Amino acid sequence: MSQRNSSGLSPLWKVLTRVAVKVDQSVGWDKLPTPVAVPVLATLRRLYRWTNLYDTATLPTTGVPAVPKPEGQRYLTARTADGTYNDLNDPRMGSAGTRFGRNVPLRYAYPEPAPAIMEPNPRVISRELLTRDRFEPATTLNVLAAAWLQFMIRDWFSHGKGDMSRPWEVPVAPDDPWPQKPMLVPRTIADATRPPDDTSGPPTYLNTETHWWDGSQLYGNNAEMQRMVRSGVDGKLRLDEHGMPPRPLLEMAGQEPGFWVGLALFQVLFMREHNAVCDRLRAAYPSWSDDDIFDKARLVVAALLAKIHTVEWTPAIVSHPTTVFALRANWWGLLQENLTGLVGRTGKDLLTGIPSSPTDHHAAPYVLTEEFTSVYRMHPLIPDDYSFRAVADNHELEERNFREIAGPHTLGLLDRLSLQDLLYSFGTEHPGAVSLHNFPKFLQEFERPDGKMQDLAAIDILRIRELGVPRYNEFRRLLHLKAPSTFEEMTDNPTWAAEMKRVYGDVERVDLTVGMFAEPKPKGFGFSDTAFRIFILMASRRLKSDRFFTVDYTPRVYTPEGIAWIDATDMSAILRRHVPELAPVLARVENAFAPWPAVGAGAKV
């Protein structure tokens, strides 16, 4: 069911691949010196590109109208609202409302039938393996890194709000304090483009967002949403006289599940950044229309999101020397930033990075995958408790728990505290480590804006099973990794091994999330090496498949001013530009997602 082509790997590459897999399994790429580890990872990425991309669009489809061709030529050099026409030969590819793909063969993507899908009970796993006993910090990161991940996910994917007409019923033990017995969990909304009762392949699901890295969390994924956020003047987004989104937009956002102050901070920053780009373009091109400026500013901001995630956020959370170099090479190539800036983009991604290189979808048409959505379930990053402090002298302004800074409460916090103090507080506090026994307690008792209670830890477990993502050991085998034969091999924590054995009994039944949270991490890693394998494949694919990051990443499409803006900007520059009060702190920061130094004698350490 994939688009695999036997010519994808030449005989020489097959030999090199066998060597790389053997070295990886016997030694571990992370134990190798960087000059050796980089080609091993590059070889594994090529292997994954040809053996771990599967096209669900080949399964039967019904009721999907043809994509209308836009009027005029605008779509040739601008992103469309719904993500269509990124690939000019396949205009529907990656657009909002298209299917998620897979990183595993489709025969492995079937969910288990009842009652096996409920075994072990997701609520039991939540209580006994995921509950935060005490907060375990990720000391190499700050809370902005946790908020950034959710900000990106809002751009990349959503399965929708769920179907409560036929909910999953999770049994709840008599001594469990959960108020509802059984626990009711909405099912993932069925794929409306699959013929009724089709059983020719595993269930498929639609992404309500565009699959592209296009800033849809800022700009919307359809024309109506885009009209809501645009001012209609000079290409700008709607901000009030204080540089904040209009109150009705914030109130609407506050009613959406998952909205909190961390998400709001990045929304504000990048709406301001968009408008700053518009000012630069208006000065350079005074005759341009509102649409002309908007289109170019959106291209620039979307590229900034991709660049910051690639060369700043990901190296911060996987700060192994090899991965830092390799991830930066995705954007700048082996020549890295200074030399690529000197010689210019050559179109050779190995040499000067993916931007400006040829587009390539590899083994399947581009979409995000169910496995990608599953490994990004990193809720332990969220702390339960927050200390908000003043950037002027570090004195404490407020203490709040997560429930008090989320949903409708977000607006009150934005009213009471300044943007600089909120960002400073997030920059100087640690997120949680992505591990067992570190799931936020307020997300295990999460009250949605509509008053409904959810245990997101139990839902994370049930959801990956529902989506047909293989359990941990099978998942590893399908990624050419060794699978542990005992619970003791799965983790270096004997207590966790005993707990998993008690809950699961059979090592083959361990869920992907639990296995990833339990396994030992490579040096500098904030999450598991198993998850990293999906990133090896999908991180570069999100760039390599997008013509606006490849063949159309040019001064002609972006403007010379736009390319220069992207090259000169990192996360710290954006923070300084729009919140200048942070400049003294940021002057001592190399990566905006690493912990910031606290101010003054009363600084917390």
pLDDT above 50: residue 3:
no
Which among 175, 39, 54, 183 has a CA at the least distance from the CA of 107? 54
* pLDDT, tens digit, 9 for 90 and up, residues 68-97: 988 899 999 999 999 999 999 999 999 999
Question: What's the pLDDT band for 4 if we cut at 50, 70, 90?
Answer: very low
Which among 366, 353, 376, 361 has a CA at the least distance from the CA of 307? 353
* pLDDT, tens digit, 9 for 90 and up, residues 165-214: 999 999 999 999 999 899 999 999 999 999 988 999 999 999 999 999 99
Are 509 and 519 in contact, with CB atoms under 8 Å apart? Answer: no
Whole-number Å distance between alpha carbons of 75 and 84: 9
What is the model's pTM? 0.95
What pLDDT is recorded for position 1?
37
Whole-number Å distance between alpha carbons of 423 and 390: 10
Which among 472, 470, 287 has a CA at the least distance from the CA of 369? 470
pLDDT above 50: residue 354:
yes
How many Cβ atoms are within 10 Å of 430's Cβ, its own excluded? Answer: 19
What pLDDT is recorded for position 8?
59
| CATH superfamily for domain 52-192+212-586 | Haem peroxidase domain superfamily, animal type (1.10.640.10)
Q: From the candidates 366, 376, 386, 472, which is the catalytic residue? A: 376
Mean pLDDT, the chain, integer? 93
Radius of gyration of the chain (CA): 23
Catalytic residue check, 504 = no
What pLDDT is recorded for position 555?
97
Judged by DSSP in three states, 187 sits in strand
Domain map of the chain by residue range?
A: 52-192+212-586
Per the omega criterion (within 30 degrees of 0), is the bond before 113 cis?
no
Q: What is the mean pLDDT of residues 44-73?
A: 93
Are 44 and 21 in contact, with CB atoms under 8 Å apart? Answer: yes
pLDDT above 80: residue 568:
yes
Contacts of 167 (CB under 8 A, 6+ apart): 184, 185, 186, 187
Percent of the chain with pLDDT over 70: 98
Whole-number Å distance between alpha carbons of 21 and 395: 52
What pLDDT is recorded for position 351?
85
* pLDDT, tens digit, 9 for 90 and up, residues 289-315: 999 999 999 999 999 999 999 999 999
Element (H, E) at 389: strand 385-389
pLDDT above 80: residue 448:
no
Which among 537, 164, 514 has a CA at the least distance from the CA of 362? 537
Q: What is the mean pLDDT of residues 107-129?
A: 97
Element (H, E) at 292: helix 290-308
Q: What angle, 0 to 180 degrees and rounded to 10, lies between the N-to-C axes of helices 247-254 and 261-284?
A: 140
* pLDDT, tens digit, 9 for 90 and up, residues 496-554: 999 999 999 999 999 999 999 999 999 999 999 999 999 999 999 999 999 999 999 99
